[in-house]
Structure 1
Amino acid sequence: MTAKRILVVDNEAKMRRILELSLRSLGHEVEQAGDGQEALAMLDTGSFDLVLTDLRMPRLDGIGLLRALREADNDIPVIVMTAYGTIETAVAAMKIGAADYIIRPFEMETIEMAVSRALTMQVVQRENRFLKEEMSRGWGDFVGTSKPMQDLYDLLKQVAPTRSSVFIVGETGTGKELVARALHVASGRSGLFVPINCAAIPAELLESELFGHVKGAFTGALRDRVGKCELASGGTLFLDEITEMPIGLQAKLLRVLQEGVIEKVGGNAVTPVDLRVVAATNRDPQQSVDAGLLRRDLYFRLNVVRVDVPLLRDRHGDIPLLVEYFVHKYSVELSRTPPRISSDAMAILEGYAWPGNVRELENLIERAMVLCRGDLITVAHLPVGLGPLPAVAKEPGADPKPASRAPDSLALRPHVDELERHLIHEALLQAGGNKAAAARLLKISERALWYKIKRYGLT
């Protein structure tokens, strides 16, 4: 286990020294406090991974120290030691959140085992919390049997078992993160799959998100934070929209990949990490390098194997399968019987160009499921102007004008709203969810965009 920083709290100097020597022999860094009050002050200004405290002490005892930490939402593991143990005090300590409860006198092996157990449990609990957050998002599955998808599957099977870095390239909505997750699952690596969207996090916070920070590193850093690189150690770190990462931070990431260590923001200690990095972008990587958005040396480091994700318009044969998949998915969420799709509606879906790719199709099916009250999704449940639209006869030299299907109503406002909603949705897709960038595409203020997003339920 990686060396940790442990705080020993006891009013007996001799006992503190014994515990310090024992824990240092295991490779840990150890600090001492004479009572709970002193310990709180040290925890408030320093970074520790575990507290080993006596129960009875002046000013603030072990239970008081434990309670103060939990009330401050500090989940640091705390092991309580006492020569005056009773069942009642043990139960009280465990209820408040003690990691262990040890009765004196004890063998040093008992302490060492308790420390190892508490530190291991801390890692497990941290990973479990992360996994619950990830699972709550829903991961989905690959859907498709077309030739482009078969080629993708074959490439992933070859690349996944290796440790090579992978660069995934594809338009917004094609499923780049799904490809990255599949690589991780098939890799056999025992650690977590940890995604981070470089475009969705402000530049000033991205370094802390990646590498973590120590308490007091900057305004708002109220406690130590574990970064995504450390979380992903032993697993896979997925860097989505890597070209949006600031150039200065790209240099620090390159060091992590080359040396296998991280340094938290505000800290000076290095932590070894074992990472497989998968990066992704919706841009042309070489153009990003030429434009100065992506460091050339980092690009070479990441682009060991390139994976191009097929566009939905290049695999129209998969659309019926995807429609069926999303209909069943949202039927479960809406607790209803899955409706059928009319042949006219399916023809329109199969003929549309899908600039937003699979994500756009999923959003459209969710919308249709909400609007459809019966057991059949029809053309009426699809957005106006979706297509495919046949061309009408025209005079020589005239601009081609697509013919639209007749709307249910000629009232202008609903159709204007539908078009505005569609354009905002498309801008958000092209901007990767970045509201400021989407507002620039739409040539409106960011404040106006936020208002329209709320109005049309596009959150």
Structure 2
Amino acid sequence: MSDSTKYILAVDDEPSMLRLLEISLRQAGYQPLTARDGREALEVINAQQVDCVVTDLHMPRMDGLQLLKEVRKTDTELPVIIVTAQGEIGSAIDAMKNGASDYILRPFDLAELELAIKRALSFSRLVVENRFLREDKADTTGLIGNSPAMQHLAESIRQVAPEKATVLVAGETGTGKELVARAIHAASPRNNALFVAVNCAAIPHEMLESELFGHEKGAFTGAVKERIGKFELADGGTLFLDEVTEMPMQLQAKLLRALQENVIERLGGNRPIAVDIRVVAATNRNPRDAIKDGKLREDLYYRLNVFRIDLPALKARKSDIELLATHFLAKRRVDISAQAVQVLMQYDWPGNVRELENVLERAAIISGNQQIQPQHLPAEMLNSNGEFIDATALGHNADTAEAPQNPLCLPNAVEQLERQLIAKALAQTNGNKSKAAKLLEISERSLWYKLSQYGIS
């Protein structure tokens, strides 16, 4: 078994439900552990590695809430997911106040359980990473994601941060270019000096030269006193030039000279001023296209492009969306449903991470800072009826997919989970009944009986 295997402890006093949870966890790629009540669960937790706990609320000897409180006495980071019934939301809220990572309502979809576990594990990992960030100033603060693209980005930052080389960060709007620049500064020997950011597109061209290089008294109308510019302010630290291709061409020539000679002159002055800065520049354009369009001097491009970092668009790293959503919503202490996460995953995000953050902030407001559901998300993310169709619900008709009238009815909950497990097994085996039965750990004869019983084709 690989080191990356996650051990999930399922706690339930109903043998049939516990068995179903065990099978579904194994199919989802986890190593299942089981316990019949809170006391038995504590024995498991104390005896071996447990990465997440999924526990029923009502059990003999020690219930789910008592188990949660006992776990939190010794471990503040172990994710605990509470399973409760529709009519017991108050108990679930009490559990969240006592440190539960999440809760799901009976009857629940297998996909919802898997996403709740994935979300809890991601948030737990984020808590650990943030603790290390506070302890280690040389980490990539603010960068969220575990996708291959983000791992490559983190490695690039670690490589270039200790150097003095100029860095050019290219990426679409909203991908986090300033975050990358700040991460480079934080991991560099210059991190005790200032990080100074200038948005070259937001400052009028006639004022940008003074903003960058400062001016002497009387240099122009209204210059009633001398003023230091961003180059002098960033001396010893890092200067971040955002949207550098929006800088006027004549000013680019002055920037090139400052970078080559580490010397500037204030506007209206003739005294050279030595500066020791590290420049990180950024653009949302393709630099080669900007050169062709007359937006970027070619010699300046070569001076800036000593070390190039290309940021991936969010649609190219969708596996990070759930982790990003958890990060953004943690500030509001707002949860997001598994169905809403699926909606986010199916959208292409032309505005990238910045759009995702804004969408989640709006959704939190609309939801009243309650759990975010698909209906709280923008209409363009939903279908023509304003609904989201769960693409993971396979193998049974919509007529049979209605939730049971009584949410506390255990046979109905077990039946629903059996349907989903059977459908998932058939999907994984391309309809091969023999292989599906082996996955389900039942006889092929039992599988045929259940197919007939539930009307699954």
Q: TM-score, normalised by structure 2?
A: 0.53
Q: Which residue of structure 2 aligns with residue 33 of structure 1?
A: none
In the TM superposition, what whole-angstrom CA distance separates every residue of 1:289-342 from its partner, at most 9, and x where no partner exists?
Answer: 11111001000001011101111111111111111111112x1xxxxxx22212
Distance 1:147 1:404, change over 3 A: farther
Distance 1:140 1:160, change over 3 A: closer
Query: Which amino acid counterpart does residue 302 of structure 1 have in structure 2?
Result: L
Give yes or no for the alignment of 1:183 onto 2:184: yes
Distance 1:349 1:140, change over 3 A: farther
Give yes or no for the alignment of 1:260 onto 2:262: yes
1:16-415 to structure 2, matched below 5 A, reads 141-189=142-190, 190-329=192-331, 331=332, 338-373=333-368, 375-387=370-382, 389=383, 403-405=384-386
In the TM superposition, what whole-angstrom CA distance separates every residue of 1:263-289 from its partner, at most 9, and x where no partner exists?
Answer: 111112111001111111000001111
Higher relative contact order (CA 8 A, sep 6+): 2
Q: Distance in 1 between matches of 2:275 and 2:221?
A: 27
Query: Which amino acid counterpart does residue 245 of structure 2 have in structure 1?
Result: T
How far does residue 406 in structure 1 lie from its aligned partner after superposition?
Answer: 5.4
Distance 1:268 1:404, change over 3 A: farther
Q: Which residue of structure 2 aligns with residue 64 of structure 1?
A: none
Q: Distance in 1 between matches of 2:177 and 2:255?
A: 21
Q: Distance in 2 between matches of 1:367 and 1:166?
A: 34
In the TM superposition, what whole-angstrom CA distance separates every residue of 1:144-197 from its partner, at most 9, and x where no partner exists?
Answer: 111110011111111111111111000000000000111111111142111101
Query: Which amino acid counterpart does residue 353 of structure 2 have in structure 1?
Result: V
Secondary structure of 2:151's counterpart equals: helix
How far does residue 344 in structure 1 lie from its aligned partner after superposition?
Answer: 1.8
Q: Distance in 2 between matches of 1:406 and 1:358?
A: 24
Q: Distance in 2 between matches of 1:170 and 1:276?
A: 20
Q: Distance in 2 between matches of 1:291 and 1:152?
A: 28
Secondary structure of 1:370's counterpart equals: helix
Q: Which residue of structure 1 aligns with residue 25 of structure 2?
A: none
How far does residue 349 in structure 1 lie from its aligned partner after superposition?
Answer: 0.7
Q: Distance in 2 between matches of 1:374 and 1:214?
A: 52
Contact 2:213–2:229 (8 Å) recurs in 1: yes
Contact 1:193–1:236 (8 Å) recurs in 2: yes
Secondary structure of 2:258's counterpart equals: helix
Does 202-211 or 372-381 show the bigger shift? 372-381
Q: Which residue of structure 1 aligns with residue 440 of structure 2?
A: none
Q: Distance in 1 between matches of 2:148 and 2:186?
A: 23
Contact 2:141–2:183 (8 Å) recurs in 1: no
Query: Which amino acid counterpart does residue 164 of structure 2 have in structure 1?
Result: R
User: Aligned residue pairs: how many?
Assistant: 248
Q: Distance in 1 between matches of 2:221 and 2:379?
A: 49
Contact 2:178–2:242 (8 Å) recurs in 1: yes
How far does residue 216 in structure 1 lie from its aligned partner after superposition?
Answer: 2.1
Q: Distance in 1 between matches of 2:385 and 2:237?
A: 51
Secondary structure of 1:172's counterpart equals: coil
In the TM superposition, what whole-angstrom CA distance separates every residue of 1:52-77 from its partner, at most 9, and x where no partner exists?
Answer: xxxxxxxxxxxxxxxxxxxxxxxxxx
Secondary structure of 2:365's counterpart equals: helix
Q: Distance in 1 between matches of 2:220 and 2:232?
A: 20
Q: What 5-or-longer segments of structure 2 have no aligned partner?
A: 1-139, 389-457
Contact 1:385–1:404 (8 Å) recurs in 2: no
Q: Distance in 2 between matches of 1:157 and 1:350?
A: 29
Q: Which residue of structure 2 aligns with residue 123 of structure 1?
A: none
Distance 1:150 1:406, change over 3 A: closer
Distance 1:262 1:351, change over 3 A: same
Query: Which amino acid counterpart does residue 242 of structure 2 have in structure 1?
Result: D
Distance 1:260 1:295, change over 3 A: same
Secondary structure of 1:213's counterpart equals: coil
Does 369-378 or 150-159 show the bigger shift? 369-378
Contact 1:192–1:234 (8 Å) recurs in 2: yes
Q: Which residue of structure 2 aligns with residue 102 of structure 1?
A: none
In the TM superposition, what whole-angstrom CA distance separates every residue of 1:234-281 from its partner, at most 9, and x where no partner exists?
Answer: 111111101000000000001101111111111121110011111110
Q: What is the Cα-based RMSD across aligned positions, in Å?
A: 1.6
Query: Which amino acid counterpart does residue 405 of structure 1 have in structure 2?
Result: G
Q: What 5-or-longer segments of structure 1 have no aligned partner?
A: 1-138, 332-337, 390-402, 408-459
Identity of aligned residues (%): 56
Q: Distance in 2 between matches of 1:233 and 1:386?
A: 46
Secondary structure of 2:254's counterpart equals: helix
Q: Distance in 2 between matches of 1:192 and 1:152?
A: 23
